Structure 1
Amino acid sequence: MSPSRIDLPTPMNDFEFPADAHTLEYARSQDAKDRLRHLRSEYIIPSKANLKARKLAKPALSNDEGIYLCGNSLGLQPKAMQTYIQAQLDTWSSIGVQGHFADIEDSPLPPWQHMAETAAKSMARVVGALPEEVAAMNTLTVNLHVLMASFYRPSGRKSKILLEWKAFPSDHYAIESQIRHHGYSPEENMILLEPDDDHRISTEKVLKAIDDNADEIALVLLPGVQYYTGQLFGIPTITAHAHSKGLIIGWDCAHAAGNVPLKLHDWNVDFAVWCTYKYMNAGPGAIGGAFVHERHGKVKYDEDDKPVFMPRLSGWYGGDKKSRFRMDNVFRPIPGAAGWQCSNPSAIDLAALIAAMSIFDKTSIEELRQKSLRLTCYLEHLLDQKLSGFNEDAPFRIITPRDTRQRGTQLCILLKEGKLQPVSAALEVEGVICDKREPGVIRVAPVPMYNTYEEVCRFVQIFCAAL
């Protein structure tokens, strides 16, 4: 069939690929030149046998590695994880409660009382924040509730929350419940941004919605990267525009943190939340991250030495360490995001997060982004080659933006009706793990930390055979 029979959008990127780009030889040549290829050895790559096993097994049932392209849902386990968690367990077993304060010479971990601060410092580098603007606490949805308790303060006409049409269900539920909590109706107080015909929501559309509803909006809450389409929103532009209308804006960065470069402080974002089990690889249900801009986290003291701070859901662990053990029931919050902490966090969870972040400490989000761009463009190129052989009845299409500035490492492939389940099953048989979302999307994420060009090439071959 003639390649001209399907009109493909022109990708806005700087990468060109040769005629032999579809070959394994080419893919392997790119892997050999990859400056970050050493990071793959920091992770446990499941074998095909492991992926099919349904019983506990050590990480090497065979040497035939599977193809894991699901870091957008759950990242692979760092090899350092066992060392860090075992260090926490050994501290607990050997010195008990003293582990909160005692430095252990041969441990990779600080005392438990400082672990959240250590994890926050590493995450701050990844999300472009000051260390004091980030806290490791709770999980994503809990953090949404904790921060909306401070930043969603409806009053009079200004009671509505602007969100997107297909918010991740947990976000949608949290927003609904917060609106109800304040005595309002979700049906009347949720402004849903509908997508354009291409499943995406343009920045211009967001700005217009802010303009049209500014007198009624109490909070704008959007995703950094949209989970279903993989669209990267124009965070700095939208944030600046919301502020120009006097609005508070928060971002759910679950699919953005560790995936794309963020500058939450410089962009003047009011608050943000993220999970750490996707691109940050801290494990299923791992402790979450939260950002509060420094202007909101200031703590002042009046002439009676009483703290003056932004209203919040307060808890013991958010109290200043210097006065935390006075036990006088006077809450003096830690300045910055840590002041929003409520409960003593799990040391095991923090050990896992610090282990995962130790690999990020060996590189930079900018380096990861460069590899991510090329890997994803390579995937896109190979898929487009397959698409060029079809007419309008092509069995799939890419709904993630073609402009590399508007996406992360995730490409979302929309399949023709009825193909999602059989294609997904066929991929699993071949040891390929991707992520599917009803009604017809397969999400493919070539993560620069551990995925390779060869894996991308093999995926496309297996995917097209499955079709």
Structure 2
Amino acid sequence: MIQDFSATAECAAALDARDALAGYKQQFLFPQHNGENSIYFCGNSLGLQPKSVRAAIDVELNSWQNLGVNGYMKGDNPWLFYADYCKPALVKLVGAAGVHEVTVMNALTVNLHLMLLSFYRPTASRYKIMLEAGAFPSDQYAVETQVLMHQLQEQDAIIEIAPRNGEKLLRTEDIIAAINEHGHSLALTIFSGMNYYTGQLFDMAAITKVAHEAGALAGFDLAHVAGNVPVKLHDWNVDFAVWCSYKYLNSGPGAVGGAFVHEKHTNTQTPRLGGWWGNDEKTRFKMEKGFIPKPDASGWNMSTSQVFNTVCLKASLEIFEQAGIHHLRQKSILLTQWLEFLLQKITNIGFEIITPTNPEERGAQLSLYFKERGRDIFNAMSDNGIIVDYREPGVIRVAPAPLYCSFSDVFKFYSILKEI
């Protein structure tokens, strides 16, 4: 398909005409610039609002108004089971074996801490935890403080894998080599599924396999994966994963997070912190002492379902169910190939695409590294109705989400950038 590209508006229009998902753009609300839709390439930071969200919130407001506490058992969507409404779609997005392996709760870093409390169980001989250097700060903070909670020394217990000198991406063989090198003392690997800065998609299947061979567990932060790239957590034998839903899952700022726990760990013997909502439903309302966790991922739930923080996710997942994550992935690959093709035509601005060129090693994001004036160029993009984001030092992250971005949007972005 790439050989058919030409840097013209006509090529963009032809790509849009062949796009079976083009109509989904009309299901989202766009920030405005000079009376027109902005070019919104920031779904990797905050997804757009589905038009269906307002009515979905009204449904629950009406239940609250008309039913009060009875809304837990009555109404269009009885609240007692609200988190369950999201699970079937999440099963498909993350490749779980069934709804028993996924849950909806809390927020990303809270869930990461809860999973680390269960799965980072250091011993005198096996106590190290491994992640990529330059992981998102929340992941670094979580790992750092968990290690300190076990009265271990950060410089000894935490292993950070960095790219080779002069490179910006991690090689899979270097990750595997590091796991093998530290295997005798490694308790857990906790890589991002996709690095937020470079947009590199890690080989989660390979990392999990070698971690298990070394005697360690493998978990992942899927903040930039969920709703972006389909994965197969169950088949890859991943022990656990966590994610947020306000990025590619378009569920609004601070929306409810999610977690995957492989069924081999969902038995009641796996240690965890307990809460009323994670207690076995057969005994929950007996109001007795003695925590008996549900024998599935929901056994990690602690508090009552956050209905008004989950309703947006429920509305968004209905769109994902219609579009299909594998169809979205196909469009995403073509969108970023189109974007990359056009960016290579720009010679008047000095930048480097630091995201992998192989579409199988990236999602809906290209990170552009500007050695000079990156912030100025970002500001100029903003002044021209382009919404992207900037990360120090010098990276502008460009993420055309396939649900609501078109090939013509990409061409407009290119047309503006080459004039800057």
Same fold by TM-score greater than 0.5:
yes
- Which residue of 98, 104, 116 corresponds with 2:83? 116
- Which residue of 226, 238, 260 corresponds with 2:195? 226
Following superposition, the deviation at residue 358 of structure 1 comes to 1.0
Taking the aligned partners of 1:277 and 1:396, their CA distance within structure 2 comes to 29
Note the 1:90-239 alignment, pairs <5 A. 90-102=62-74, 104=75, 107=76, 110-129=77-96, 130-196=98-164, 197-239=166-208
Kindly indicate whether the alpha-carbon contact (under 8 Å) linking 2:79 and 2:305 is maintained by their aligned counterparts in 1.
no
Q: Percent identity?
A: 44
Following superposition, the deviation at residue 157 of structure 1 comes to 2.4
Taking the aligned partners of 2:375 and 2:329, their CA distance within structure 1 comes to 31
1:25 maps to 2:16: no
**Which residue is 1:67 aligned to?**
39
Taking the aligned partners of 1:266 and 1:18, their CA distance within structure 2 comes to 36
1:319 maps to 2:279: yes
**What one-letter code is carried by the residue in structure 2 that aligns with 1:254?**
A
Taking the aligned partners of 1:335 and 1:133, their CA distance within structure 2 comes to 10
Taking the aligned partners of 2:154 and 2:83, their CA distance within structure 1 comes to 35
**Which residue is 1:362 aligned to?**
322
Taking the aligned partners of 1:323 and 1:37, their CA distance within structure 2 comes to 48
1:42 maps to 2:14: no
**Which residue is 1:465 aligned to?**
419
Taking the aligned partners of 1:452 and 1:434, their CA distance within structure 2 comes to 15
Note the alpha carbon deviations across 1:299-343, whole angstroms, 9 max, x for none. Answer: 3xxxxxxxxx21101111101222110101222211111000111
Following superposition, the deviation at residue 23 of structure 1 comes to 1.1
Note the 1:238-249 alignment, pairs <5 A. 238-249=207-218
**Which residue is 2:355 aligned to?**
400
Following superposition, the deviation at residue 35 of structure 1 comes to 0.2
Tell me the secondary structure at the aligned position of residue 215 of structure 1: helix
1:434 maps to 2:394: no
User: Which runs of structure 1 show a deviation greater than 2 angstroms over 4 or more consecutive aligned residues?
Assistant: none
- Which residue of 344, 367, 374 corresponds with 2:334? 374
Tell me the secondary structure at the aligned position of residue 219 of structure 1: strand
Kindly indicate whether the alpha-carbon contact (under 8 Å) linking 1:274 and 1:288 is maintained by their aligned counterparts in 2.
yes
**Which residue is 1:265 aligned to?**
234
**What one-letter code is carried by the residue in structure 2 that aligns with 1:85?**
I
**What one-letter code is carried by the residue in structure 1 that aligns with 2:223?**
A
In terms of mean alpha carbon deviation, does 91-100 or 114-123 score higher? 114-123
**What one-letter code is carried by the residue in structure 2 that aligns with 1:18?**
D
Taking the aligned partners of 2:88 and 2:311, their CA distance within structure 1 comes to 14
Tell me the secondary structure at the aligned position of residue 233 of structure 2: coil
Following superposition, the deviation at residue 345 of structure 1 comes to 2.5
**Which residue is 2:366 aligned to?**
411
Note the alpha carbon deviations across 1:241-280, whole angstroms, 9 max, x for none. Answer: 1111111010000001111110111111000000000000
In terms of mean alpha carbon deviation, does 194-203 or 447-456 score higher? 194-203
Note the alpha carbon deviations across 1:419-438, whole angstroms, 9 max, x for none. Answer: 12111111111110001100
1:341 maps to 2:341: no
Taking the aligned partners of 2:416 and 2:218, their CA distance within structure 1 comes to 42
Following superposition, the deviation at residue 464 of structure 1 comes to 2.1
- Unaligned runs of 5+ residues in structure 2 are none
Q: In the comparison of the two structures, how many residue pairs are matched?
A: 418
Tell me the secondary structure at the aligned position of residue 34 of structure 1: coil
Taking the aligned partners of 1:17 and 1:71, their CA distance within structure 2 comes to 28
Following superposition, the deviation at residue 120 of structure 1 comes to 2.2
Taking the aligned partners of 1:455 and 1:123, their CA distance within structure 2 comes to 28
**Which residue is 1:16 aligned to?**
2
**What one-letter code is carried by the residue in structure 2 that aligns with 1:200?**
L
1:445 maps to 2:399: yes
Kindly indicate whether the alpha-carbon contact (under 8 Å) linking 2:356 and 2:362 is maintained by their aligned counterparts in 1.
yes
Following superposition, the deviation at residue 31 of structure 1 comes to 0.7
Tell me the secondary structure at the aligned position of residue 456 of structure 1: helix
RMSD between superposed Cα atoms in Å: 1.2
Taking the aligned partners of 2:351 and 2:419, their CA distance within structure 1 comes to 13
**What one-letter code is carried by the residue in structure 1 that aligns with 2:141?**
Y
Taking the aligned partners of 1:194 and 1:384, their CA distance within structure 2 comes to 27
- Which residue of 78, 81, 87 corresponds with 2:50? 78
Kindly indicate whether the alpha-carbon contact (under 8 Å) linking 2:128 and 2:188 is maintained by their aligned counterparts in 1.
yes
**Which residue is 1:7 aligned to?**
none
Kindly indicate whether the alpha-carbon contact (under 8 Å) linking 2:186 and 2:215 is maintained by their aligned counterparts in 1.
no
In terms of mean alpha carbon deviation, does 121-130 or 132-141 score higher? 121-130
> TM-score under structure 1 normalisation?
0.88
Larger radius of gyration: 1
Kindly indicate whether the alpha-carbon contact (under 8 Å) linking 1:198 and 1:399 is maintained by their aligned counterparts in 2.
no
**What one-letter code is carried by the residue in structure 2 that aligns with 1:139?**
A
Following superposition, the deviation at residue 18 of structure 1 comes to 3.3
- Closer, same or farther in 2 for the Cα pair 1:198/1:464, shift >3 Å? farther
Taking the aligned partners of 1:118 and 1:128, their CA distance within structure 2 comes to 17
